[in-house]
Amino acid sequence: MRIRLDGTRSEITDALFRLRLNFTVSGVSRAYPDRARPRHWRVYVNTLPKEGR
């Protein structure tokens, strides 16, 4: 599954931490700046279901 995260750097960091608790994260893209909101970024995350669930 591919998930797009939008937000500040701290919001994205927190979301990645929480995603890793429930999913196997197989890849994270670089942070792309949001042109409409100067302090916001977007990151794309590739995930897989956790083993044993």
> In the chain, where are the structural domains located?
2-49
Place of tokens 């949001």: 34
Instruction: Return the SS3 of 52.
Output: coil
CB neighbour list of residue 53: distance below 8 Å, 6 or more residues apart: none
pLDDT at site 7: 97
Q: How far apart are CA 35 and CA 33, in angstroms?
A: 6
Does residue 46 contact residue 20 with C-beta atoms inside 8 Å? Answer: no
Residue-wise pLDDT for 10-46, tens only, equals 999 999 999 999 999 999 999 999 999 999 999 999 9
pLDDT at site 50: 86
Q: Output the pTM of the full model.
A: 0.85
